[in-house]
């Protein structure tokens, strides 16, 4: 290895170095940027030949991990041609550097396969990996897997990802990296509640502020696979790929498959550093809606009225929403033809004249007269058997060889790869948007795909591209339209959908205790302004828990805030508290939706801290959340991280939704104001007041002028 064979990308303290001296691209460094001597240092450190226990010379296998080069783990390319051409050796045919990107092209002339990979680095240090495989043979090439793998150093000893289920998404799982292959496979045809937005590897004991962290996430909303493998020889790599179904990707001669982009992040300052890079990358994408386009305080009517739509009832809700300061009013499920419950209507996206004889115009006019935007719910990828669409076109649903899949939630999945089905959904949604003042849609997806077959062939890949295309075409036709991605709550939150949607519904559970964990764990990859965070009812219909308004409001503050509650039933005091909280959100959302997210505690600790620190470190807002009894008579310390350690800050307790109930009203002195250095706040912290379990405080920190 010489410095001349090394190709590098660097930004924001992250360095990627690829060596081509062995005839195949081989990543020799992905991590901290060592500065201008990095290439020379790597050439020296990797110059010696490694000899195995049998006296064999160990040759780097490179990014394609071919068995032909002596690699015995899972190859990056798994493809075959009628049982032949299943083993590959890709030799480099070109390498190019263009400032922020590295491009490598390799070929196996014997097998008739060409592969290429491009690494592009964003300003935040996130690296995007794009890969293409092309059939340069004459017969069809079946691609079973085309994965992106990156090496991990020996220092990476642990891994972490997420699982979950309906109303309990984003459960965190942490484990030691051991010899063998770890794979989280998602086969629902959508991202699913069980998916992991990103998978992480880290040094021993890494936490939110400390340790090195490597993260990999797939920009894809269909079937997926996240992987970590440690070979018996001690080589460790982390990877991701689209999970292709049998026969789903068969390439004809000269045809190519572009694998979903993979985003990778690295940090030397813990999970918060890794998350911040991803947040900044997403915030830099075209059309991002955040601090520069204030996220409207939203009221969704679902948990207030369910399917019981009436103009008078909704009008009362409009009045209550306007009184407390709501800026966007969203009419959820139940407005379209035959939709008096979840057993009928999906697929017929026309206004139900029995409920809305004059169309939606009267309620839209009512909403706009109250100074609010109007939003509407769709579930365009689904169909009920009891619908005009299904009666006319039963062949438009997914199913294998005419077999009708089992119904889930009384519905089937429309095959949007069928031109007729796609045109039907697009035209009906477009007609509603063209004839009504709808600026926002909540797009739901309430069941997984069972036997997703188009004319006998697996079609999850094409279905995923179809929904991306549909969202993009709707936005082209309606440039100011905003789209929220919802899938039985949080079952389609991923980095791929983040390129097409503006907001995610994190969970169908509005229990603030559950939502606190779901939201903070979703923020491992998704910035707060893209997460719908609502104040739910006092009594949660998914858990039966009862929480104070103060607790629910504190949890809902840190995101794209809203309300999902029949606030016509609120007491005058509750409406006053909601109005105060709503105004506080509006005053602070520029900070909440642009700053660095900082966190403390994990899924097992009784106390959490979640904060957002402005880019200049001039201001920050934190929540201190006591989940359960702390197991001690001495309150915990509230460490406020992310501030300038050399600066002094004014800190104070704020109560935008009223006072948090306390068993002993003995508040520490800082609650009414104190001046403390950023270093002391991070290392020592504020003394917490004694709180009941399931309570929260909001704390502001403001830099003092020097």
Q: Euclidean distance between the first and final Cα of the chain, in Å?
A: 52
Q: How far apart are CA 361 and CA 608, in angstroms?
A: 45
β-bridge mates for residue 241, sequence order: 225
Contact 156, 44 (CB under 8 A): no
151 touches 27 (CB < 8 A): yes
Task: Say how far apart CA 346 and CA 337 lie, in whole Å.
Answer: 8
Q: Which residue has the tokens 């396969």?
A: 113
Q: Two tokens at 35?
A: 């500065």
* 298 CB-near residues (< 8 Å, 6+ apart): 326, 327, 328, 329, 330, 375, 532, 534, 560, 561, 562, 563
Nearest to 260 by CA among 500, 65, 453, 6: 500
Active-site residue set? 444, 508
Alpha-carbon distance of 406 to 412, in angstroms, equals 8
Token look-up 């948990």 returns 303
Handedness of CA 654, 658, 659, 661 (dihedral sign): negative
Q: DSSP labels for 19-87?
A: E-TTSS-EEEEEEE---TTHHHHHHHHT-SPPB-TTSPBPPP-TTTT-GGGT--S--SEEEEBTTBS-S
DSSP-derived secondary structure letter, 659: P
Local structure of 5: helix, strand or coil? helix
Token readout for 619 is: 């201001």
Find the farthest-apart pair of alpha carbons in the chain and give their distance in angstroms, rounded: 84
**Secondary structure (H, E, C), 242-308:** ECCCCCCCEECCCCEEECCCEEEEEECEHHHHHHHHHHHHHHCCCCCCCCCCCCCCEEECHHHHCCC
* Burial 669-694, CB ≥16 within 10 A → b, else e: ebbeeeebbbebbbeebbebbbbeeb
Which strands, in side-by-side order, build the sheet including 141-146?
77-80, 141-146, 250-251
How many whole angstroms separate alpha carbon 367 and alpha carbon 375? Answer: 10
Residue 385 three-state SS: coil
């Amino acid at each position: 290895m010489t410095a001349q064979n090394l190709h590098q990308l660097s930004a924001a303290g992250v360095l990627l170095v690829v060596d081509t001296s062995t005839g195949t691209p081989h990543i020799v460094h992905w991590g901290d940027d060592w500065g201008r001597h990095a290439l020379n240092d790597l050439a020296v450190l990797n110059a010696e030949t490694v000899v195995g226990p049998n006296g064999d010379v160990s040759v780097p296998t490179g990014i394609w991990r071919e068995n032909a080069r002596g690699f015995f783990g899972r190859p990056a390319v798994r493809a075959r041609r009628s049982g032949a051409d299943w083993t590959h050796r890709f030799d480099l045919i070109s390498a190019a550097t263009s400032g922020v990107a590295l491009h490598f092209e390799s070929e196996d002339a014997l097998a008739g396969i060409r592969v290429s990979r491009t690494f592009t680095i964003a300003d935040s240090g996130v690296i995007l990996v794009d890969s293409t495989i092309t059939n340069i043979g004459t017969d069809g090439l079946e691609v079973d897997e085309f994965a992106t793998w990156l090496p991990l150093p020996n220092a990476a000893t642990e891994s972490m990802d997420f699982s979950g289920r309906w109303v309990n998404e984003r459960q965190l799982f942490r484990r030691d990296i051991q010899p063998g292959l770890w794979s989280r496979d998602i086969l629902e045809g959508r991202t699913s509640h069980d998916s992991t937005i990103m998978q992480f590897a880290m040094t021993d004991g890494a936490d939110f502020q400390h340790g090195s962290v490597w993260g990999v996430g797939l920009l894809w909303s269909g079937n997926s696979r996240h992987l970590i493998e440690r070979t018996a020889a001690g080589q460790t790599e982390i990877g991701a790929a689209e999970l292709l179904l049998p026969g789903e990707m068969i390439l004809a001669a000269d045809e190519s498959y572009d694998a979903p982009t993979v985003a990778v992040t690295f940090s030397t300052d813990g999970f918060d550093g890794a998350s911040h890079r991803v947040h900044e990358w997403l915030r830099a994408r075209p059309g991002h809606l955040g601090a520069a386009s204030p996220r409207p305080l939203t009221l969704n009517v679902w948990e207030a009225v369910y399917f019981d739509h009436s103009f008078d009832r909704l009008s009362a809700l409009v009045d209550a929403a306007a009184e407390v300061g709501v800026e966007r009013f969203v009419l959820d499920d139940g407005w379209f033809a035959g939709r008096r419950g979840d057993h009928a209507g999906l697929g017929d996206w026309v206004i139900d004249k029995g409920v809305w004889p004059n169309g939606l115009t009267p309620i839209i006019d009512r909403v706009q007269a109250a100074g609010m935007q109007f939003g509407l719910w769709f579930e365009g990828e689904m169909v009920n058997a009891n619908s005009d669409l299904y009666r006319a076109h039963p062949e438009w649903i997914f199913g294998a060889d005419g077999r009708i899949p089992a119904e889930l939630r009384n519905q089937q999945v429309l095959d949007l790869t069928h031109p007729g089905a796609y045109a039907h959904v697009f035209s009906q949604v477009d007609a509603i948007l063209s004839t009504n003042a709808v600026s926002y849609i909540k797009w739901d997806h309430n069941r997984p795909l069972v036997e997703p077959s188009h004319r006998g062939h697996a079609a999850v890949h094409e279905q995923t591209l179809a929904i991306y295309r549909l969202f993009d075409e709707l936005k082209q036709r309606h440039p100011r339209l905003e789209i929220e991605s919802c899938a039985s709550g949080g079952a389609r939150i991923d980095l791929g959908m983040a390129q097409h949607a503006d907001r995610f519904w994190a969970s169908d559970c509005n229990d603030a205790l559950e939502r606190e964990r779901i939201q903070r764990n979703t923020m491992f990859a998704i910035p707060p302004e893209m997460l719908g965070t609502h104040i739910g009812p006092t009594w949660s219909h998914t858990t039966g828990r009862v929480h104070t308004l103060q607790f629910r409001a504190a949890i809902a503050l840190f995101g794209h805030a809203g309300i999902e509650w029949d606030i016509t039933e609120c007491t005058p005091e509750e409406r006053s508290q909601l109005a105060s909280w709503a105004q506080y959100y509006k005053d602070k959302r520029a900070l909440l939706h642009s700053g660095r997210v900082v966190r403390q505690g994990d899924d097992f600790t009784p106390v959490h801290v979640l904060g957002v620190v402005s880019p200049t470190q001039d201001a920050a807002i934190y929540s201190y959340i006591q989940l359960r009894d702390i197991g001690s008579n001495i309150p915990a310390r509230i460490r406020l991280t992310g501030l300038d350690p050399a600066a002094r800050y004014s800190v104070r307790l704020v109560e935008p939704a009223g006072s948090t109930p306390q068993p002993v009203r003995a508040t520490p002195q800082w609650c009414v104001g104190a001046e403390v250095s950023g270093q002391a706040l991070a290392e020592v912290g504020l003394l917490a007041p004694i709180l009941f379990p399931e309570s929260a405080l909001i704390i502001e920190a403001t830099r003092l002028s020097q």
